[in-house]
Structures are given as C-alpha cells and as structure tokens.
Structure 1
Amino acid sequence: MIRFFQPEEEDRIIDAIQEAELSTSGEIRVHLEDNLKGDVLQAAQKTFLKLEMHKTEARNGVLIFIAPEQRKLAILGDKGINEKVPKDFWSEERDIMLAHFKSGNYADGVCAAVQQVGAKLKAFFPYQSDDENELPDDISYS
C-alpha cells in the first residue's frame, strides 16, 4: 500500500471532502491505487463497487481514482448523477487536477477537484436537512 500524500496533505483532502459535502447530499471519495493493472476506468469501476459507493440512497457518489505510479486518473459518478449530467461532465475536474499535478501540487489538485465536484453536485443534489454522511471521507488505498 502506497502513502502518496503526507499526513497533513491527507488531512487537507479530507477537510475538502467534508466541506464539499456540506452543500450537497452527494458523496465524494478519493482512492489511490498502488499497482494499476489494465484500464484505469475499469479499475475505477471495480473500486467504486468495492467501496460500495453504489449503495447510497440517491446513487450520487463520486469517485476520484488516482494511480500515481502509472500517472493515470479517472472520475466516476454513480447512476443517479449520470442520468442527469452530460457524458463528459467531469472533464473540468480532470483538467484541474492535471494542471496541478504537472507542477507537482498533487494535494492541491485533488482539493481543487473535490471542491469543484461539490459545487457541481449541489446543483443536482442539494444538501438536505436530514442528510446523512453515507460514505467515509477518508482516502482509501489499495
């Protein structure tokens, strides 16, 4: 298992997730893959299921999947999101991350993307007064 981020960077990313989720009922997860084998999108889809992100009530989970060693990433939204948004909905977040990554600012890139995901989810899945945090906010690794 890799530890790509320093502990203080992990804390910043978790804080960004928690802050983004204050304005949406959507759920955001960040996952780092140590040894990507095959297609990044297929690996992200498997991880999405493994993390049980498809089990949210509104099917509104978003996974930011990063394979640092292979320099690949994917952003996946669940069925509830995909039914409401255009196909290339997450390209802006991907581009934000890549711009930061090119200058070595990985945690900044993830935080910026998380904030943007939260803002976009708010339009389709606003925060509800009875909203529960259905998924952990920590970074998962494999």
Structure 2
Amino acid sequence: MTLLSESEQQQVAAAIKRIERDTDAELVTVLAARADDYTYISLLWAGMLALLGPGVINYYPLWLNAHELLLTQWLTFIVLSLLFKVPAITTRLVPQRVRHWHAANLARRQFLELKLHHTEGGTGMLIFVSEAERYVEILVDHGISSQLSDETWAAIVSDFTMAVRRGETLQGFLTCIAACGEVLRQHVPVTRLRNELPDHLVILT
C-alpha cells in the first residue's frame, strides 16, 4: 500500500532539504499505515460475541439442540473474526488510549532504528505519523531538547493531527516541516553544512 505517491514523497524530501540548509537539526519523517494489526483485538471481540450467542439464542427460544448451538458459536466466531480484520473496523474496536500507546512505541522504535540518537551534537529530530491511529508525534534528541521544551511542538502536532484526520497527510507534512523549520532556524541555527541522515520519507506499510 502506498500512503503517499512518489511525487508527494519527493515534495516532503524537498521540504526537509530546504529547512536543513538553515539548521543543524537532522530531520527524518516516518509515515506508517498503522502501528499494529491488532489481531488479538479482533479475535477477542469475536470470541466474546460468540460466547454470548447461546445466551441470546436461549433468551429467544429457537429450539436448537446442543450440536446446533455449538455450530452457531463456531460460525459466529469465524465470521466475526474475518469481519473484524477489516482495518477500518478493527481500529474502531480498539480504545484510543491503546492505539496511541502502540503508535508512541512505534515512534520510539523508529527513532532508535533510524539512528536519530547518533547524530553529531544530538540534533536528530523525528516527525512520526501513523494514519490508522490518527497519531502524530515529534521526537527530538538532547541537542534540540536542551534548547526547546516539548511544549514547543504541541501546537504544530495538533495542527498536523487535524490534517491527518481530514485526509490531508501531505499538506500536514509540508506545513509541519515548515513550522518546525521556523523554530529550528532561531534556536538550532546552522553552524556547518552536513547531512548525516537521509531526507526521504520513510514509509511503513
């Protein structure tokens, strides 16, 4: 699945290049389709509803014998398991707090896997988006956090999150990168040209 087209990904990369000319920050962007497949959630819901089936059937006498009740349970479980695997449905079955917890964990794993914590001066910065969870987070290394508090990014993240909810992920990226660039130019200005990390958008499908 392609979350952004090739030309849209190039727009994001170009936006990163523009702001990195004026700051020592090493910016990396990651776009994930979803933070988890939540298979256990779909199975849990299907199992619970299948177990409730006999009680509902017994409440409304349908004169089914034990074999027919068991068969009904199994069919209910199989059908619901398949139905609940549809991403649009699965996401709605998972509490927001759980979805955001998974997305936050994935963001932190990406920060480490992409070696944003190994940049010279600790100026790595990650803009992370998980579309299914409608989750946006900005993570920065110590070289930036020592200059700027986490509250600096709150409004930028909020605006980006709203853009993702509207289905405007590309524009959200471009606006977010530009807004981050304005802040970084002032507080983490360029001291020498370097490019330690790739500028392209990392896609997780």
TM-score (structure 1 length as normaliser): 0.89
Question: RMSD in angstroms over aligned alpha carbons?
Answer: 1.6
Asked if the contact 1:14/1:138 (under 8 Å) is kept, the reply is yes
Tell me whether 1:45 sits opposite 2:108 in the alignment.
Answer: yes
Give the superposition deviation at 1:84. 2.0
Question: Residue 139 of structure 1 corresponds to which residue in structure 2?
Answer: 201
Q: Which amino acid aligns with 1:97?
A: F
Gap regions ≥5 residues in structure 1: none
Q: Which amino acid aligns with 2:198?
A: P
Q: Which amino acid aligns with 2:31?
A: L
Give the superposition deviation at 1:117. 1.0
1-side partners of 2:5 and 2:126: how far apart?
21
Q: Which amino acid aligns with 1:127?
A: V
2-side partners of 1:43 and 1:82: how far apart?
20
Instruction: Name the SS for the 1:57 alignment partner.
Output: coil
Larger radius of gyration: 2
TM-score (structure 2 length as normaliser): 0.63
> Which one of 125, 148, 155 corresponds to residue 92 of structure 1?
155
Gap regions ≥5 residues in structure 2: 37-100
% same residue: 25
CA deviation profile, 1:56-92 (whole Å, cap 9, x unmatched): 1111111111111222121111111112222322112
1-side partners of 2:161 and 2:108: how far apart?
20
Q: Which amino acid aligns with 1:78?
A: D
> Aligned runs of 1:1-142 on 2, under 5 Å?
2-37=1-36, 38-128=101-191, 130-142=192-204
User: Against the structure 1 CA distance between its residues 88 and 39, is the aligned structure 2 distance closer, same or farther, given a 3 Å change threshold?
Assistant: farther
Give the superposition deviation at 1:39. 2.7
Q: Which amino acid aligns with 1:122?
A: R
CA deviation profile, 1:25-55 (whole Å, cap 9, x unmatched): 1111111223413432222111101000111
2-side partners of 1:15 and 1:48: how far apart?
21
